[in-house]
Structure 1
Amino acid sequence: MTELMRNRVVFILVAVGAFILAFGLGQVAGNKKDAPAHHQKAAGQYTVKLLDGDVLKAKQPLRFEVLDPKGKPVTDFDTVHEKKLHLIVVDRDDLTSYEHLHPTMAAGGTWTVATSAPGHRTYRAYADFTPAGGEPQVAEADFAVGRTINLPATVYRPGDTASVDGYDVALEADGATYTFAVTKAGKPVDLEEYLGAGGHLVGIRTRSLDYLHAHASAAEGNTVAFHVEAPNAGTWVLHLDFQVDGKVHDATFVQELEGAAGGMGEHMDMGDMEGHGHDD
């Protein structure tokens, strides 16, 4: 082989090697680019579609649709605890800020609700519902009210007592059973049925914003009990909705909860509790 031919062979081999290397890097880069985001919904899940974008003006109602796994608006829902859909809204950066809302649905599947969410903050909304004849679902979406600003990080301190609107609430945990006792001026009050149960308990996990919604397993006099099994272990902010004299109150607790078997859950079916979990 002459030196000229040898140089040509070397050139061809180098060119082919460079092409293979470039193609491989392109494939890796393409795979990374196409990887789903952390909170992107997987195929087969229900989703919430915000109809006015994810930045609202102050006092602007929240409008949305619930989309089925095929991307079509859901218009038929089962009634669960007296409502077709429960919407939980929390401040992403301060989970003690909480609303339990019940939007109204127009023909075609458009839900509308007014929130009292202050401006300059970002929020996570959890739509808790059951499609007609289907299984309980939790779909979520994030939105902001106006231009957001940086505020000091919220410090969550676990505790077993809370006060709200003149009521004192004490929490006693026994394994997965969480019992709340409500008093006013040191005297027991009579808890009333709220949305078909003795009370409702919503939990949001710090950082990952996992969700659980438990319904009262027992209620008597001034006490109400729940079976609480979190989809992930960690620090959870619990909101107890209870009703006295026709008015609903929200008592807030911070608790360290153990995770369910395996430590993670996604739309877990737990009887009287729905859970929705993410990785950290």
Structure 2
Amino acid sequence: MKKVINTLLGVTVCLVTLSACNNVENKKNKDMTTHEHTDKESVYACPMHPEVTGKHGDKCPKCGMDLKAVNTENAVAYEVQLTTSPQNVEAGKPTQLTLAVKQNEKNVALDISHEMKLHLMVVSEDLSWFRHIHPEEQTDGAYAITETFPNGGKYLLFSDFKPSGGEQTLNKQEIEVQGKSSPVNNDISTKYISKVDGYTVTLINGSDFKTNKTQHLEISIEKDGKKLIEKDLQQYLGASAHIVMIGKADKEFLHIHPVTDNRFPIFAQTHIENAGVYRMWVQFKIDGKVHTADFTVDVTKGKKDENGEQTHVHQH
């Protein structure tokens, strides 16, 4: 198998703009711990290009994102190597994806996080196609899985993992798939209702998404005229559901897990840094089958908290 694609350095400190995986160790506690980032003992790095560093207020020259504070005490650099077999990826043909998380050129052991050691979210550049898959550990410590891409074009691969003894980490890679490209999806119209496998899934507060606040995600599910409650859902990846949000313009990534709220079968909290259009995928499990509902929301800029600082939901 030939090595392709660029490698990116990951950092062990998951920033809120990268990974919004909510801690659900105590699902009955709806109150989310908050904390504030400070400049003390921090450097600033790009969330998507960690090798780019600078000072507060700088922007990444590669993607234009604001540099985020990273704690230097706990920061450890990891290298994520992605290889494909065959080397030239073609649409409609199976491709083996292999990811190796390395430190000092050695594969790093990963802990189980939300029932899996490695979560891999694959999306087309226009965010019209989404897959959440879990590569399997190989004898050499790498992780591999076979995937078939539907069309030619650029695809983004977000891998989420927790190195043993380290912090939850997100890494972003890109691959080019050869073959006929699908028409570019420039549809930015909002979508709050998704019908999938006979279920009507509604993002109830979809028109009220704002930055600079703890954002609620209130989701209802209905089938055959019956409104489902949380106990109608089976646990999926250690929670009642699984949620991913990705910004259409800058590809800001949020990985979210719900907490319990008896008003909704799926309820979560997160913090969105940047305004703009986001695509969202909500996955839930019933009768052994995972269903994926999709939404499109327009996040507007909200006011900062009264103290003038942004508070963030505590996340891993």
Q: Would the TM-score normalized by the shorter structure come out above 0.5? A: yes
Instruction: Choose the corresponding residue for 1:38, options 41, 57, 62.
Output: 62
Considering Cα pairs closer than 8 Å and 6+ residues apart, tell me whether 1 or 2 has the greater RCO.
Answer: 2
Does structure 2 retain, via aligned residues, the 8 Å contact 1:122–1:148?
Answer: no
Instruction: Choose the corresponding residue for 2:186, options 154, 178, 199.
Output: 154
Give the structure 2 partner of residue 204 of structure 1: 246
Give the structure 2 partner of residue 246 of structure 1: 288
**TM-score, scaled to structure 1:** 0.72
Instruction: Choose the corresponding residue for 2:201, options 164, 169, 184.
Output: 169
- Equivalent residue of 1:130, what SS? strand
Write the letter of the residue equivalent to 1:77: L
Instruction: Tell me, in whole angstroms, the C-alpha distance in 1 between the residues paired with 2:80 and 2:199.
Output: 35
Does structure 2 retain, via aligned residues, the 8 Å contact 1:170–1:181?
Answer: yes
- Equivalent residue of 2:203, what SS? strand
Q: CA RMSD in A?
A: 3.0
1:88 aligns to 2:111 (yes or no):
no
Give the structure 2 partner of residue 102 of structure 1: 134
1:139 aligns to 2:182 (yes or no):
no
Instruction: Tell me, in whole angstroms, the C-alpha distance in 2 between the residues paired with 1:157 and 1:62.
Output: 33
Instruction: Tell me, in whole angstroms, the C-alpha distance in 1 between the residues paired with 2:286 and 2:226.
Output: 13
Instruction: Choose the corresponding residue for 1:112, options 144, 153, 158.
Output: 144
- Equivalent residue of 1:248, what SS? strand
Instruction: Tell me, in whole angstroms, the C-alpha distance in 1 between the residues paired with 2:252 and 2:226.
Output: 35
Instruction: Tell me, in whole angstroms, the C-alpha distance in 1 between the residues paired with 2:303 and 2:117.
Output: 30
Does structure 1 retain, via aligned residues, the 8 Å contact 2:63–2:250?
Answer: no
Is the alpha carbon distance of 1:222 and 1:229 closer, same or farther for their aligned partners in structure 2, counting shifts above 3 Å? closer
Instruction: Tell me, in whole angstroms, the C-alpha distance in 2 between the residues paired with 1:219 and 1:73.
Output: 43
Shift of 1:77: 1.0
Give the structure 2 partner of residue 188 of structure 1: 227
1:30-81 CA-partner distances (Å, limit 9, x unpaired) = xxxxxx96169x996434322238741321111121234x5x3443111111
Shift of 1:147: 3.5
Write the letter of the residue equivalent to 1:38: K
- Equivalent residue of 1:225, what SS? strand
Shift of 1:132: 0.8
Instruction: Choose the corresponding residue for 2:108, options 65, 68, 75.
Output: 75
Give the structure 1 partner of residue 314 of structure 2: 271
- Equivalent residue of 1:204, what SS? strand
Does structure 2 retain, via aligned residues, the 8 Å contact 1:48–1:140?
Answer: no
What aligned pairs does 1:257-268 form with structure 2 within 5 A after superposition? 257-258=299-300
Q: Structure 2, unaligned stretches of length 5 or more?
A: 1-59, 68-74, 209-213, 305-311
Instruction: Tell me, in whole angstroms, the C-alpha distance in 1 between the residues paired with 2:79 and 2:185.
Output: 29
1:218 aligns to 2:260 (yes or no):
yes
**TM-score, scaled to structure 2:** 0.64
Shift of 1:115: 1.8
Instruction: Tell me, in whole angstroms, the C-alpha distance in 2 between the residues paired with 1:253 and 1:217.
Output: 20
Instruction: Tell me, in whole angstroms, the C-alpha distance in 1 between the residues paired with 2:313 and 2:161.
Output: 15
Shift of 1:197: 0.2
1:132-183 CA-partner distances (Å, limit 9, x unpaired) = 1211110011112324637234312112211111110111237611111111
Is the alpha carbon distance of 1:199 and 1:108 closer, same or farther for their aligned partners in structure 2, counting shifts above 3 Å? same
- Equivalent residue of 1:197, what SS? coil
Does structure 2 retain, via aligned residues, the 8 Å contact 1:96–1:252?
Answer: no
- The structure carrying a bigger helix percent of its residues is 1
Write the letter of the residue equivalent to 2:109: D
Largest Rg, 1 or 2: 1
1:187-233 CA-partner distances (Å, limit 9, x unpaired) = 12311111110111101100211111010111559611010212322
Q: Structure 1, unaligned stretches of length 5 or more?
A: 1-35, 263-268, 275-280
- Equivalent residue of 1:52, what SS? strand
